[in-house]
């Protein structure tokens, strides 16, 4: 009934193409889209398009794979009073806001969102509506309701022992969650534990991993604390998100031995720079500490931490924590701009939001690169991002499954 109509064929023509694989840029590409998938890619621009075929001509632009936001919450509205509406909005109003947030992400070039937890089953419902074609928007990969040993301010499944972790992870996965998301330490919210304190032991993280493996799913962990990171890495989680390395007393301590273990095990990191060093000051009388996370020090200090993780062989994924305080869904390019100051090459930054992010989600067969058979999720930016990374703000067109998104507006 709601099946989405894909263009039978479309050729997207531009000045350049970066396919996400790490291969050199293609000059004057003509990219074929068939039934929502990438077909062939030819060099030569409009001259190599078959006569009479429909063409989307984007002069001056570079084609990129659609971006993946590796950490977001579509149930949150990026205000500085976000938990109030989460707790009090009627279901219909909350869902309307969530639809708006998801569609705003497309304006920032994001065609896939990893959502780390919402209210009850709201994110699963939205994911399924988008997948069915009832709504237009990005692909959602969702964790349902997060696991924690105590309530943290969002809907939480409370699990305080390994057996409880197994049970609550099973509940989420059986309900259709795409992964298990766990709060691994105290956080900036300070509602229960201090930031430097771990929530779970290695055995408890391992219980979640073993449960998820039975569903062929992964476990992702938010942690501010070095102790939380250590326990999660020893257990073998898929990724650490935020990963601030806070120890008692508020210091930053990032042991090289843990980084080496992360690199060896293939554990990803999502540094979420945007929410810690925000693009806009906090409005009015809001606490300005939310606009810059003072516990992490200056941006230059945090950039050195991310650079050390990267140089140690840990795979970095771009994720903003969109929906959180002051962190808008349509400003994803800001995360790329910040990562570009963390010792990563421009190509590495672009891959952190495309191919590497797809691997992080275990969706590398579906998205992340513009090669034959992948979903035709495409971002066209004016200019050459390899020459100037800030051109990722210049979004001229976004294609989701080969369909051009009509709601594009400048975010620069």
Q: Please say if the pLDDT value at position 192 is more than 60.
A: yes
Instruction: List, for residues 135-161, the tens digit of each pLDDT value.
Output: 999 999 999 899 988 877 677 888 999
Question: Do 404 and 111 meet the contact criterion of CB atoms below 8 Å apart?
Answer: no
pLDDT, tens only, 87-107? 788 888 888 988 999 999 999
Core vs surface per residue 120-149: b (16+ CB within 10 A) or e: ebbbbbbbebbeeeeebbbbbbbbbbbbbb
Mean pLDDT of 157-177: 95
Please give the radius of gyration of the chain, using alpha carbons only, rounded to the nearest integer: 21
CB proximity list for 168: less than 8 A, separation 6 or greater: 147, 157, 158, 159
- Core vs surface per residue 291-307: b (16+ CB within 10 A) or e: bbbebbeebeebbbbbb
Helical residues (DSSP H) of 184-255, grouped into ranges: 202-214, 226-235
Mean predicted confidence (pLDDT) in 66-74: 96
User: What pLDDT does 411 receive?
Assistant: 39
What region, left, alpha or beta, does residue 313 occupy, with left being phi > 0 and alpha being psi -120 to 50 degrees?
left
pLDDT category at 117 given cuts 50, 70, 90 is confident
Q: Answer yes or no: are the C-beta atoms of 359 and 352 closer than 8 Å.
A: no
Cβ neighbours around 194 below 10 Å, total: 15
Give the residue, 330 or 288, on which the prediction is more confident. 330
User: With 70 as the cut, is the pLDDT of residue 177 above it?
Assistant: yes
**pLDDT over threshold 90, residue 326:** no
Percent of the chain with pLDDT over 90: 73
For the chain, list the domains and their CATH numbers: 10-66+369-404 (2.30.40.10), 67-360 (3.20.20.140)
Residue 360 reports pLDDT greater than 80: yes
pLDDT tens-place string over residues 286-300: 666 666 677 788 899
Which of 109-113, 184-188, 207-211, 392-396 bottoms out in mean pLDDT, i.e. has the lowest?
184-188
């Amino acid at each position: 009934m709601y099946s989405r109509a894909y263009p039978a064929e479309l050729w997207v023509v531009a000045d350049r193409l970066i396919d996400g694989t790490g291969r050199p840029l293609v000059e004057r590409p003509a990219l074929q889209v068939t039934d929502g998938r990438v077909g062939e890619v030819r060099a030569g621009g409009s001259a190599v398009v078959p006569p009479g075929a429909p063409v989307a001509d984007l002069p001056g632009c570079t084609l990129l794979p659609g971006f993946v936001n590796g950490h977001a919450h579509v149930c949150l509205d990026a205000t500085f009073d976000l938990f109030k509406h989460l707790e009090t909005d009627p279901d219909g109003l909350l869902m309307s806001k969530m639809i708006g947030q998801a569609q705003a992400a497309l304006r920032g070039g994001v065609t896939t969102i990893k959502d780390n937890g919402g209210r009850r089953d709201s994110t699963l419902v939205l994911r399924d509506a988008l997948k069915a074609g009832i709504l237009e928007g990005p692909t959602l990969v969702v964790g349902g309701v997060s696991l924690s040993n105590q309530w943290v301010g969002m809907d939480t499944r409370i699990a305080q022992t390994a057996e409880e972790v197994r049970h609550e992870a099973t509940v989420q996965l059986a309900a259709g969650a795409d992964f298990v998301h766990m709060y691994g330490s105290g956080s900036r919210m300070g509602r229960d534990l201090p930031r430097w304190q771990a929530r779970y032991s290695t055995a408890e993280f391992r219980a979640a991993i073993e449960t998820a493996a039975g569903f062929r799913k992964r476990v992702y962990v938010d942690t501010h604390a070095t102790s939380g990171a250590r326990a999660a890495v020893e257990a073998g989680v898929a990724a650490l998100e935020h990963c601030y390395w806070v120890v008692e007393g508020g210091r930053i301590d990032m042991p090289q031995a843990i980084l080496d273990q992360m690199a060896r095990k293939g554990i990803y990191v999502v540094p979420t720079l945007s929410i810690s060093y925000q693009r806009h000051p906090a409005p009015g009388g809001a606490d300005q500490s939310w606009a810059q996370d003072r516990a992490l020090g200056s941006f230059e200090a945090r950039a050195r931490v991310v650079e050390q993780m990267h140089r140690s062989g840990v795979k970095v994924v771009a994720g903003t924590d969109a929906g959180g305080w002051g962190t808008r869904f349509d400003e994803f390019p800001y995360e790329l701009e910040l990562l570009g100051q963390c010792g990563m090459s421009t190509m590495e930054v672009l891959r952190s939001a495309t191919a590497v992010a797809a691997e992080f989600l275990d969706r590398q067969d579906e998205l992340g690169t513009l090669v034959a058979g992948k979903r035709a999720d495409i971002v066209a930016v004016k200019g050459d991002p390899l020459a100037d990374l800030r051109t990722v703000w210049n979004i001229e067109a976004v294609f989701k499954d080969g369909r051009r998104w009509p709601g594009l507006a400048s975010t620069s």
